[in-house]
Amino acid sequence: MRPRLSRLNLAFSLALLISAGVTAAAGNSDNFRAHLAGESQVADVDTKAQGQAKFRLSADGMSLHYKLIVANIDGVFMAHIHLAPPDENGPVVAWLYPDAPPPAPISGDLNGILAEGTITAEDLVGPLSGNTLIDLVEAIKSGNTYVNVHTAENRGGEIRGQIF
């Protein structure tokens, strides 16, 4: 009897692990990221700068937490989420840095977290102003949003990355 019970325990444990893996994988559909680089700009920018943007949708779908990390970039004065597919420029739909129109550019190389915060429906601007956060999430899931970090030298954006 004991070996049979062990097999049942093993089968049950495997089922739990598989179930946990499926649940974790499903939860990842609410996590998004973007790798930012100069060559992702519509007109390539020759730069050593790069970045990562990470987004996590809250369980209730009412807020989107973000972290924007940059390296080797100088003169940053703003960063946004824009609405457009790859290889096209589009309008700003959410501010990432700062959370309102900016002061003077930051001088000196930046390496690390540029911005971290939470976006809600009230933070949406431009064509998404007055919409729900789900409208932004749907645009992200369809590949129609990107993060752009603007600098004093490259006012149209120095590094960019599509959000997936």
Q: Each residue of 10-35: pLDDT tens digit?
A: 444 434 344 444 434 444 579 999 99
What is the H or E stretch that residue 138 is in? helix 133-141
Q: Each residue of 51-77: pLDDT tens digit?
A: 999 999 999 999 999 999 999 999 999
Q: Each residue of 87-98: pLDDT tens digit?
A: 999 999 999 999
pTM summary value:
0.81
Q: What are phi and psi of 153, to 5 degrees?
A: -75, -35
Q: What domains are defined for the chain?
A: 30-162 (2.60.40)
pLDDT grade for 128, boundaries at 50, 70 and 90? very high
Residue 135 bridge partners (DSSP): none
Instruction: Judge contact between 93 and 130, C-beta under 8 A.
Output: no
Angle 44-46-48 from CA coordinates, rounded to 5°: 125
